[in-house]
Amino acid sequence: MDLRSVLSAIAETTLRTGLPVPAPREAVYRWAQPLGLPRNGRVYLYTGALYQLVPYIKAYVSLLEQLGKGGSRLAKLASTRLAARVVRPDRRESELVEGILSSIARLLSRAGVEYAYLYEDDLYSGVLLYDLGLEEAFRKHAARVYEALRRRGAEKLITVDPHTTYVMRSVYPEYVEGFSIEVVNYLELLAERLGSKPARAPGSLGAMVIHDPCLYARALGIVEQPRRLLKAAGVEVLEPRRSGRMTYCCGGPVEALSPRLARRIAEARLRELREKSERVVTLCPICYANLSRVARDETIVDIALVLAKGFLGVDGGAAAGE
Amino acid sequence: MSRVLREVEEALEDDSLRRALERAAENNERNVARVLERHPEVEHLAREVEEAKKSVIERLDYYIDKAMESLRRVGARPYLAETPEEAREIVAGIVGRGKLVVMSKSMVAEELRLREHLEALGNRVWETDLGQLLVQLENGRPMHTIAPAVHISRVEAARLVSERLGLELSSGSPEEIVEAVRRFLREKLVHADVGITGANAVAADTGAVFLVENEGNIRIVSGLSRKHVVVTGVDKIMPTILDAFKAVLVQAAYAGLYPPTYVNVTAGPSSTADIELHRVYGAQGPREVHVVLVDNGRRRAARHPVLSEQLRCIRCGRCQLECPVWQQSANHWGGRVYGGPMGLGWTAVTESLEVAAEAAMLCLGCMRCDLVCPMEIPLSRIAAWLKRQYTRRMGLSG
């Protein structure tokens, strides 16, 4: 597979369908339907679809890997409507992602945050286009996203992952004229409201090693909040050799261009995490996907599921990794 | 598949490379942390060096003129070479043919393919830095700025030294290799006609050339031959002799080797006036000191809004050792000479924007390099800019 074909497939698919990989639109907001979240407001939960896309990205990358062997003509096929039928995510992974997002929604309600949900306007942020240097495609896509948010009267967005938080907070204002929506991450909100008093006895949920995502740690300064929350939830937080601001990338960002390189970096990071515990807590869907791809007897769990268990007593399927 | 991607993926298959890089990265991280803890003043020095570098880049032509003037004043012979070809011709003119030449490791010499050029002219040329000598013996290329042979194991080093130099080894231990190479090179160093070094800093106010090292080869290369040729990039110019000294200390500290065993300062050729106060050049040290300041894209980069940032780099190589991609691939990820995070910018400046842009596509954007760079160069921003150049060149801009 050559770089150009992968990049052009991603740009073309995003501009045509709004999502960087072939996936049905309803896969983005299906998780929220049982919760009955309000549709209108000024403060919106904005997932940016990244969690929901992870199962599709994984399926798509393996499709690309297979097509890659057939050359670039086949790779072009991957960007067509036909590909949407071929990309079939693992059902269990989709359920897991839906469990994570509903845990986040419930935790926000528990913290007394009032918010509405965007449903069909919960559009993909376009962060991958930006990360891959597809600047013009990103600019066009971002303008559409902003238009939808403006139409819904959004004044403040609650984001749930580092990539979407970063791109909305730091990149949109540079690329989208007039963008002035406030962006707050759910961990910042939860830490403020739930982080000060323990919900469970210290360490009652056992020990876990924390893997900080690069963007939270280095670009957004979200380091202390997840630790405070995990501790209040009853987790003993273990620090790996490289943690906090000096955290080490999971390799995920190059997954589409070199799955082998991404895998090697993930293996190196997992070895390091493993030195502290085989129970790893991740804070980002990309880290989750890339580390779980190489995990053997280690358990990789998203922080939202751990917090749901600690604060809500809910076992979101795989809370705290059991 | 692209050339860079292919080379990186091939490197992924090399288990001994991965282990060597892991060890080097861990050691460097620990060493730098220890140095900075014990000598917190180094971080202040780094800020001063950064400011001094910025002032030079803003007025690069002025400082080049000033450095050349100062070099002349102390009896050295300065040259400004715009292209690698020009630089090679200048050095070849100084060296001549059929000579014995000793070199100390220089990345700018690698840019120029200087050793190969001088050999083609019938000179015998020896690298005297142990790592760089190993790279010469394997016909390879340096895999790190400070530790060029970071990819070569002790077993491989012993094999190269015994097969290529015919040196007899029994245990093949690092100590034995070092001793054997010391004896082998000693004879070359004593009889060399010309010594060629790089420079870690050149002081514009005085023409003093600074070189920092631990092996002790540089002081012999620069001090024993009749002719000392310095080949360095114009980015190494610092405003004053004090700034230059600070720059080499900072470089050594962030390479994890502090204090450096040796700092060599050369301000013109050796001389004596001990007989009737009559100045005679060429006492125990060199009679001629030639300083070739190499442009090779640097002056153009100094006017560029993004690439100018790269010129502040002091080549400590810390960003390489801290980078997850580099830790898997070493300088296979990059251009012909420079690899890793700093190598993306340097490749764009000195080799090819196209090569740099393609390599940049593998940058994770994780920003670890930004955090560890002592010159606070926004390395990940340079990589992001290069990615945009790549998509433009590929016709994918929108």
pLDDT single digits (tens) A239-294: 999 999 999 999 999 988 888 999 999 999 999 999 999 999 999 999 999 999 99
Instruction: State the CB neighbour count (10 A cutoff) for residue B190.
Output: 12
Asked if B22 has any chain A CB less than 8 Å from its own CB, the reply is: yes
Cα distance between residue B103 and residue B194, in whole Å: 8
* Chain B residues touching residue A133 (CB < 8 angstroms): 360-361, 384, 386-391
The distance of A117 to chain B (nearest Cα, Å) reads 30
Interface-testing mutation among B15, B19, B329, B368, with chain A (most A C-beta atoms within 10 A): B368
Of the three residues A127, A157, A189, the one that is the final residue of a domain is A189
Q: For residue A321, name the pLDDT band (cuts at 50, 70, 90).
A: very low
Among B136, B171, B168, B128, smallest CA distance to B152 is for B136
A41 shares a domain with A78: yes
Asked if A133 has any chain B CB less than 8 Å from its own CB, the reply is: yes
Cβ separation of A254 and B367 shorter than 8 Å? no
A221 shares a domain with A151: no
Cβ separation of B364 and A4 shorter than 8 Å? no
* Chain B residues touching residue A8 (CB < 8 angstroms): 394, 396
A71 shares a domain with A174: yes
A71 shares a domain with A53: yes
Of B9, B396, B398, the CB nearest to A7: B396
Q: Which of residues 370-389 of B touch A (CB under 8 A)?
A: 370-371, 384, 386-389
Instruction: Identify whether A49 is part of a domain.
Output: yes
A181 shares a domain with A72: yes
Of B1, B328, B390, the CB nearest to A265: B328
Of the three residues A189, A215, A248, the one that is the final residue of a domain is A189
In B260-312, at which residue ranges do the beta strands (DSSP E only) sit? 262-266, 271-272, 280-281, 288-294
Q: Which of A165-169, B15-19, B335-339, B387-391 has the lowest mean pLDDT?
A: B15-19
The distance of A108 to chain B (nearest Cα, Å) reads 29
A274 shares a domain with A174: no
A65 shares a domain with A45: yes
Q: How many domains is chain A built from? A: 2
- Give chain B's count of helices (H) and strands (E): 19, 12
Q: Which of residues 313-372 of B touch A (CB under 8 A)?
A: 324-325, 327-329, 358, 360-362, 364-368, 370-371
Tens-place pLDDT, residues B345-374 = 999 999 999 999 999 999 999 999 999 999
Asked if A135 has any chain B CB less than 8 Å from its own CB, the reply is: yes
Looking up residue A203, the CATH number of its domain turns out to be 3.40.50
* Chain B residues touching residue A218 (CB < 8 angstroms): 366-368, 370-371
pLDDT at B122: 97
pLDDT at A195: 87
ipTM: 0.93
User: Chain B residue with minimal CA distance to A71?
Assistant: B1
Cβ separation of B398 and A137 shorter than 8 Å? yes
The fraction of chain B above a pLDDT of 70, given in percent, is: 99
Instruction: Identify whether A131 is part of a domain.
Output: yes
Of the three residues A189, A211, A238, the one that is the final residue of a domain is A189
Asked if B398 has any chain A CB less than 8 Å from its own CB, the reply is: yes
Cβ separation of A249 and B390 shorter than 8 Å? no
pLDDT at B143: 87
What separation in angstroms does the CA of B42 have from each of A303, B39, B54, B235? 39, 6, 18, 21
Cα distance between residue B54 and residue B47, in whole Å: 11
- On whether the CB atoms of residues B172 and B196 are closer than 8 A, the answer is no
Own/partner long-range contacts of B2-6 (Cβ < 8 Å, ≥24 apart)? B2/A2, B2/A3, B2/B358, B3/B355, B3/B358, B4/B333, B4/B334, B4/B355, B4/B358, B4/B359, B4/B361, B4/B362, B5/A3, B5/A257, B5/A258, B5/B358, B5/B361, B5/B362
Tens-place pLDDT, residues B194-208 = 999 999 999 999 999
- On whether the CB atoms of residues B314 and B252 are closer than 8 A, the answer is no
Determine the straight-line distance between the first and last CA of chain A, rounded to whole angstroms. Answer: 38
Strand B237-238 relative to strand B201-203: parallel, antiparallel, unpaired?
Answer: parallel
Instruction: Identify whether A276 is part of a domain.
Output: yes
Cβ separation of A214 and B390 shorter than 8 Å? no
Asked if B120 has any chain A CB less than 8 Å from its own CB, the reply is: no
Instruction: Identify whether A321 is part of a domain.
Output: no
Cβ separation of A3 and B370 shorter than 8 Å? no
A214 shares a domain with A146: no
pLDDT at A6: 84
Cα distance between residue B391 and residue B398, in whole Å: 9
The distance of A316 to chain B (nearest Cα, Å) reads 30
**A156: domain range?**
3-189
Q: For residue A318, name the pLDDT band (cuts at 50, 70, 90).
A: very low
Q: For residue A322, name the pLDDT band (cuts at 50, 70, 90).
A: very low
Residue A227 has pLDDT above 90, yes or no: yes
Does B206 or A58 have the greater pLDDT score? B206
- On whether the CB atoms of residues A278 and A306 are closer than 8 A, the answer is no
Q: Which secondary structure element, helix H or strand E, spans residue B227, and what is its range?
A: strand B227-233
Instruction: Identify whether A119 is part of a domain.
Output: yes
The region, left, alpha or beta by phi > 0 then psi within -120 to 50, assigned to residue B166 is left
A7 shares a domain with A71: yes
A272 shares a domain with A126: no
A302 shares a domain with A202: yes
Among A318, A321, A289, A305, smallest CA distance to A100 is for A305
Residue B239 has pLDDT above 90, yes or no: yes
Cα distance between residue A245 and residue B246, in whole Å: 28
- On whether the CB atoms of residues B144 and B150 are closer than 8 A, the answer is yes
As a whole number, the mean pLDDT across chain B is 95
Residue B135 has pLDDT above 70, yes or no: yes
Tens-place pLDDT, residues A147-205 = 999 999 999 999 999 999 999 999 999 999 999 999 999 999 999 999 888 989 899 99
A214 shares a domain with A182: no
Instruction: Identify whether A319 is part of a domain.
Output: no
Q: For residue B184, name the pLDDT band (cuts at 50, 70, 90).
A: very high
The distance of A15 to chain B (nearest Cα, Å) reads 9
Q: For residue A81, name the pLDDT band (cuts at 50, 70, 90).
A: low
Residue B62 has pLDDT above 80, yes or no: yes
Cα distance between residue B56 and residue A202, in whole Å: 56
pLDDT at A276: 98
Cβ separation of A261 and B361 shorter than 8 Å? no
Instruction: Identify whether A126 is part of a domain.
Output: yes
* Chain B residues touching residue A128 (CB < 8 angstroms): none
Report helix angle A186-194 to A91-110, nearest 10. Answer: 40
Tens-place pLDDT, residues A83-142 = 665 677 888 999 999 999 999 999 999 999 999 999 999 999 999 999 999 999 999 999
In this structure, what DSSP letter does residue A239 have? Answer: P
Q: Give CA angle at A228 (A227, A231), nearest 5°.
A: 85
Instruction: Identify whether A154 is part of a domain.
Output: yes
